[in-house]
Amino acid sequence: MYKYYYFIGIGGIGMSAIARYFKHQGFEVSGYDRTPSALTRALEQEGIGVHYDDDVNAIPQDVEHTFVIYTPAIPEDLGELQYVRSHGYAICKRSKALGEIARGQECLAVSGTHGKTTTSTLLAHILTQSGEGCSAFLGGISKNYDTNLLLSRNPVLVAEADEFDRSFLQLHPHIAVVTATDADHLDIYNDHAHVLEAFGLFTAQVDADGAVVVKHGVEVPLEQTTAKVYRYAYDTPCDFYASDITPLEGGRFDFTLRHPGGRIPHCTVGIPGWVNVENAVAASAVALLHGTAPEAIREALATFQGVKRRFDIHVNTPRIAYIDDYAHHPNEIRAAISSMRNIFPGRTLLGIFQPHLYTRTRDFADDFADALSGLDALILLPIYPAREEPIPGVTSDIIFDNVRLTDKVLIPKEQLMEHIRSRKIDCLVTFGAGDVDRFIEPIETYLNTLA
């Protein structure tokens, strides 16, 4: 029925995966995004038309044969969104589109306020490397496959189940993971109780003959869940956990994966950090429950290359190290700093943080300050607003003033590179979900001249 698929907010990580899916299905795909990025440039190279002005003339005019998909991250007053709503176009949110694609397939969904992107990408890698194959809609760019979309004839679909805007309630998985249920997106949920309620509704939608895998110690209301519930952990004995953990060179670990059916000795994850052992336990739990062979899991874990912008090591020499991480919640920042202290013991850790959203900054200012105090030095940038209008009194200063470091500075991002060049760099990390990623390449290029 439809010939054209038009995306409003096509440069988003979840939107771009669905755009690629429909392009692969043979449809005409195009869309709007506010700013060019590496992702939109990649879409254009794949034959998907992208424009950057709010221009209703760029929308396919064949209303009857055009389907519009939009992200709730765009402002409601966007001209293109108002136009398609008032001119009779078929239209739905990204989450509903993903739900429709997943319908009729065995859906393996990874949810959680943090950890879901690496875990879902690792799960997709395990299924792909095992030879079974899967389709996967990922919240980051897999470094193994250089994409956020994997396609397979096998009717198994791995989905990152996003809690933003209650998107994950469009999915009805066979197996689901819950990695964390921290208070977040309070502009949507108002309070932590409503976040927990949404996760409870999500787990209740898992097939009765399926499974829910929840991180040990994570609070989820499971009263309505009919699927069997399992727990996983880094090293706490439960259904799935790591034991015999032995540090290896470069921040990686050798460990035994314990599971209800036995043990898988001498597992290693191809990327460093204790938090990735925990992610590997979660992904392996789903794979085992799905029926993947233990030996195939062990082999796949070792070849996993990670996800761009998820604890992504760009420079690593005895003199200088540089890591980029998408962390934009206090607990994510704490976990990343903990992993860095483990990998780079005794090194001086300088962090660059760009807060994401006025509401998140307002709601977690003290917690951000506490988390960032785990660094040795801090460069703080102004808030990246994304979809939000400014809130009076909410600026990066409300974080900055409470950071317990003497070596801290708050500067506009236009001065960032100049400031970096003025400092002695040992171990540097960039944090944030805004446009701080635009600095990754210039920072890496500069540090390589010093390394």
pLDDT tens column, 250-289:
899 999 999 999 999 999 999 999 999 999 999 999 999 9
Q: Which of 40, 59, 94 is the last residue of a domain?
A: 94
Q: Is residue 256 part of a domain?
A: yes
Tokens 């290693």 belong to residue: 268
Closest CA to 110 of 74, 75, 138: 138
Angstrom distance (rounded) from CA 367 to CA 411:
21
Could you tell me which of 214, 304, 233, 295 has the C-alpha nearest to residue 262?
Answer: 295
Number of domains, the chain = 3
E-strand stretches of 170-293: 175-178, 211-215, 228-232, 241-247, 253-259, 262-268
My answer on whether 40 and 112 are in the same domain is: no
Q: Note whether residue 307 is domain-resident.
A: no
How confident is residue 386, by pLDDT bands cut at 50, 70 and 90?
confident
Q: What is the pLDDT of residues 190-205, one digit of tens each?
A: 899 999 999 999 999 9
Angle at 99 between CA 137 and CA 134, to 5 degrees: 40
> Is 269 part of any domain?
yes
> Distance between CA 207 and CA 392 in Å, rounded?
46
Helix (H, G, I), strand (E, B), or coil: what is residue 416?
Answer: helix
Q: Are residues 124 and 272 in the same domain?
A: yes
Average pLDDT, the chain: 96
The 10s digit of each residue's pLDDT in 114-154 is 899 999 999 999 999 999 999 999 999 999 999 999 999 99
Residue 113 tokens read as 């306020």
- The answer to whether residue 186 scores a pLDDT higher than 80 is no
Tens digits of residue pLDDT in 20-67 = 999 999 999 999 999 898 899 999 999 999 999 999 999 999 999 999
Site of tokens 């991180």: 215
Q: Does one domain contain both 195 and 62?
A: no
Residue where a domain terminates, one of 94, 114, 137: 94
Where would I find the H helices in 130-247? 186-189, 192-204
Domain presence at residue 211: yes
pLDDT at 231: 98
Q: The tokens of 378 are what? A: 């801090």
Q: Are residues 281 and 345 in the same domain?
A: no
Residues 187 and 53 in one domain: no
**AA letter at 125:** H
CATH classification at residue 374: 3.90.190.20
The residue among 72, 94, 116 that closes a domain is 94
Largest CA distance in the chain: 63
CATH of the domain at 256: 3.40.1190.10
Q: What is the mean pLDDT of residues 326-353?
A: 94
Residue 163 lies in a domain: yes
Tokens describing residue 317: 């020499």
* CATH number, domain with residue 68: 3.40.50.720
Are 148 and 244 members of one domain? yes
194 and 161 belong to one structural domain: yes
Does residue 170 sit within a domain?
Answer: yes
Least confident stretch, 218-227, 230-239, 308-317, 399-408: 308-317
**Within-domain flag for 280:** yes
Give the percent of the chain with pLDDT over 90.
93
Same domain, 254 and 286: yes
pLDDT for residue 232: 98
Pair 144, 120 in one domain: yes
Output the pLDDT for position 387.
Answer: 78
Region 419-431 average pLDDT: 97
Give yes or no: residues 160 and 297 share one domain.
yes
Burial status of residue 345 (CB atoms within 10 A of its CB: 0-12, 13-18, 19 or more): exposed
Q: Residue 371 to residues 151, 278, 376: CA-CA distances in angstroms?
A: 38, 20, 12
Q: Are residues 292 and 319 in the same domain?
A: no
Residue 349, domain extent: 312-450
Say if residue 31 is in the same domain as residue 74: yes
Q: Is residue 229 part of a domain?
A: yes
Q: Which residue has the tokens 């690792």?
A: 122
